[in-house]
Every structure is written in C-alpha cells, then in structure tokens.
Structure 1
Amino acid sequence: MKNYQESNSLKESLEILKRYKNDVSKEDYEDIKGIIGNHAIENTYMNELDIIALVKQSVYGLSADEIIAEYKEKGYVDYERK
C-alpha cells in the first residue's frame, strides 16, 4: 500500500492540495479548497488520500461511489498526474 501524508491541521491539508494545484482548473481548485475548509470547521482534516479522491472526481469526472470501489479493491486510490 502506498504511503499518503496525514494531516492534523487545515494548513497541512491546504499544503497537500497545493501539490495538485496544476492538475485541476482554478475553479475546481477553489471548490476543493472550500471543501477542505468546511471539513476543518468540524476539526476534520483531509489527508492526502481524501484530497486525491477530490482531485480524481474533478479531473476524471468520477463519482464518489467509483472512487470508493477503487479504494476497496486496491486499498488506496491511485492517481497518475497528467
């Protein structure tokens, strides 16, 4: 299984997202940033695996169910950069 970075703060989650900034449109980046912020309000910080799932939804138009199925099959969500 791949090692994905965990996050313990909003700042760490946003730093992870920055790595994928060029993979999504500016609008999608801001949307994902908002989702991360909304989770952080509840003290739930998105880790790299969570963020990759959001990026895959944006880039490939996958549904949450498709991403969950991939996770169950592989034990992680695979993402190859453009």
Structure 2
Amino acid sequence: MLQNCKEVYSLEESLNILNKYANNLTPRQYDNIKSIICSFAIENMHLNEEDILNGIAIQKGDKSVLEITQNYKAQWGCL
C-alpha cells in the first residue's frame, strides 16, 4: 500500500492517474476502472493513486477485493 498517497480532489485528477497506467491495461480493464472512478465522482468521492492501483490489481486478477479489505483492516487495527 502506498503510505504517502496524495489526496485527489477532482474527477480529472483521478482520470489523469488512471491514464498513467493505461498502457498496461486492456481496453476493457481501462473502461471498467474508468466507470468505477466516474461512479465515485458522482458522489464527490475521488479515487487516489492507491485506490486506482488496487482497482488495476483486481482487474488483472493479482488481488481480490477480500485481500485488499483485509489489508486495510490490518492497517487500521481492525483485525
């Protein structure tokens, strides 16, 4: 997990982060993650680089949602 991940305050910033990794994604993976980013932005919640990298890992099958959730719970002392 990225410890020093800067906060993101706009849809444009989140999409710029996604675009940094676009060459490593299939069009379908890119569109799936973009859709998630846009859905969160509707609620004025903007995904930072760590969030986007987690989404990429899920799309590529490198991590599961459960693994990511457990990592956060451990980091926050909830486990």
| Shared fold, TM over 0.5 | yes
Q: Secondary structure at the match of 2:23?
A: helix
What do residues 1-53 of structure 1 show as CA deviations (whole Å, max 9, x unaligned)? 64223210000000011111122211110110011001000100011111011
- Which stretch of structure 1 is more off in the superposition, 1-10 or 25-34? 1-10
- Once the two structures are superposed, the pairs formed by residues 43-82 of structure 1 within 5 Å of their partners are 43-72=44-73, 75=75
Matched residue type, 1:10: L
Contact 1:23 1:59 in 2 (8 A): no
Question: 1:38 and 1:12 mapped to 2: Cα distance?
Answer: 14
Question: 1:2 and 1:43 mapped to 2: Cα distance?
Answer: 23
Contact 1:17 1:33 in 2 (8 A): yes
Q: Secondary structure at the match of 2:39?
A: helix
Q: Which runs of 4+ in 1 moved over 6 A?
A: none
- Number of equivalences: 74
Shift of residue 66, structure 1, vs aligned partner: 1.0
Unaligned runs of 5+ in 2: none
Percent sequence identity is: 39
Cα RMSD, aligned residues only: 1.7
- Once the two structures are superposed, the pairs formed by residues 1-82 of structure 1 within 5 Å of their partners are 2-72=3-73, 75=75
Query: Which is greater in Rg?
Result: 2
Question: 1:35 and 1:5 mapped to 2: Cα distance?
Answer: 19
Unaligned runs of 5+ in 1: 76-82
